[in-house]
Structure formats: structure tokens, C-alpha cells
Amino acid sequence: MNEEIMMNEEIMQDVKEQLVGALDYDQAAKGVLSQKKVLAYILKRTVPEFESASLDDIANIYIEGTPEVSTVPVSKDKTNAVRHALERQDTPKIKGAQNEDNSITEGSIVFDILFRAKAPETNELITLIINVEAQKRLNPKKKTGDTYPLLKRAVYYASRLISSQKGTEFTNSDYDKIKKVYTIWICMEAPQGKSAINRYQLKEQHLLHRYKEPCQNYDLMGIIFVYLGNSKVKDQLINLLDLMFKSSKNANEKITALHNDFGIDLTQEGEGDLKLMCNLGEGLYEDGLMKGKLESALEMLKDGVDLDKVAKYTKLSLSIIKELAKQNKLI
């Protein structure tokens, strides 16, 4: 009994350590993604307004300011906080942020990175959020255990960015002052393992006659999904994100490749985030190996393989194999 309690305590401690590591990795990833030159690659490849601009101009001229980190509510109930945060964007780099939209009536959500950029041709301000989605499933689980389409969540986030503008960008019925928004999702897994970039926008359709409304009156919301697959493709953005998040290179090799291949020189803080990501990534990889070993062990136990042989084949201790068998009522 004491041995079982000790094993459960060890398992709980491992779970806690893995959770802390995952959260630290997540925050470091946002820090790296929020480097202006990295954001420039994302905007140039995915947002039509920036496709003709140079990477340097996007990074140094069009991207504005520095949002606060983990302190900004973006809500229709606390809308002034958004305006004040965006007004404070007066430094040359962008920090990764968990920007919370904590509307009293609509519930709480978190934006990973929130910033503004000027459209090169019109000089109009665009509000953008970038979310990093590390889940393997493109249909994440709800608290009830059921799943939901990630795309619907993206539509909701974009809608909140629009609705939160009342009282900040416009008041009363001045809807002509609504600013365009984009929500961009970086997904670490791809459908069928193939890298892809999808964009969703409002479009006009003529069902009777042909009255053409100026597109700036309805083209106010864009949703973009960037999926990172397992094979190499001829796409600069995919290759950049693959280098940062999926490559087996160490931190120094990645820093060198970012400079040589992409012209990106990380800030000192950005290098620190990248090194933390690489160190934690090794630990998360090792956790994944452990999970794989446990799954293999369980399958062998279900097939009636002897405990000693399961321990030998999986290179796990006999005590762990026994505990696994007990928990699954196999002995």
C-alpha cells in the first residue's frame, strides 16, 4: 500500500513538473514569435495588405509598438484598457503577451500576441492577434470531454476584436470607424501531416443584378491558419517556423540559421527565449518518449506478455510495469 501511494505521489510530481515546463515553453515560444522580424515574415506571407512590402519595412515602419505582457483585458466591458495598451506601443520590439478579453457578459478568453500594424497603401491601422496552438488535435476538447472545431474559436476571437472597438475606436453609431482585424493561428500539427496555409475572409456575392459595395465596408475580418507539417516545402514562412519550433538543431545552431538564412537577428531576450525553448523542448520530447514507452507496455500487458519481458523490451523498471498493470487491473 505504501509503495502504491509513493508511486502515485511520484506520478503526480512528474505531472506537475511537465505542466510547469509546458507553460514555460509556451511563454518562451510567444517571446520568439513576437520578435518584429519574425512577425514581418508572418504578415508578408499571410496578410494581403503586406504582401508587396519589404520585410524590413514591415518590421521597422508598419508594425507599431509594444503591447503589455499578460496584463491587458480586451473586452467590451473594459475597452479603455485596450486603447491605453495600444497607445503605449512606443518601443521598437513587440513582447509576447497573454492579452485577456475578460468581458462580463461574454466570458474570458486569452490572446497570445496582440499588436497593431499600418497598412502600407492606406496607412489604416489594423489590429492583429497571433495565437500559438500546440495541440495535436484540430478539434480541441471542451471541459465536458466533447470536441469543438478550432476554426469556430478563431471566428469568435476575431468577432471579439471587432466588438471590443466600441467605446475605443468608435462611439454610438460611428460604425464607419471600425478597424480591420486579423487572427492568425500557428498550429504545430497539420491535417494529414502536410504543411498548409488557409485564409478566411468576408466576400461579396451578387445574387441579383450587380451592385458592388466598396470592399473596405465589409472586408473587416480575416482568419488565417498556418499548419506545420512533417515534410520540407518551398515556403519561407513554413521553413522559418519549422526551424524555430520543430527542428532538432540546438539553440546556437538555430540562432545562426536565423541570421544566415532569414536575416533575423534576435534580441538578447529573444535568444534567451529560444534557448529556453530548446532546453524545455528536449524535456518535453523525453516526456513524449516516456509516454510512448508506457503505451507500448500497456499494449503488451493486455496481450498477456510476462511482466519481466515487458520491462526488458520497454527499458522501464519492473516496479513501474507492476504499477501500470495494477492501475489497469491486469494483475
Strand positions, DSSP E, 148-292: 181-187, 196-201, 221-227
Q: What is the pLDDT of residues 211-256, one digit of tens each?
A: 999 999 999 999 999 999 887 889 999 999 999 988 888 999 999 9
Whole-angstrom CA distances from 20 to 23, 27, 125, 128, 284 are 5, 11, 37, 28, 11
Cβ-contact 65, 116 below 8 angstroms = yes
Q: Which of the residue ranges 53-67, 254-268, 278-292, 302-316 would you say has the lowest mean pLDDT?
A: 278-292
Would you kindly state where each structural domain of the chain is located, as residue ranges? 1-25+274-331, 36-265
Whether this prediction's pTM lies above 0.95 is answered by no
Among 146, 151, 147, 143, residue whose Cα is nearest residue 107:
143
For residue 79, give the 3-state DSSP assignment: helix
Q: What is the pLDDT of residues 8-22, one digit of tens each?
A: 555 545 545 555 556
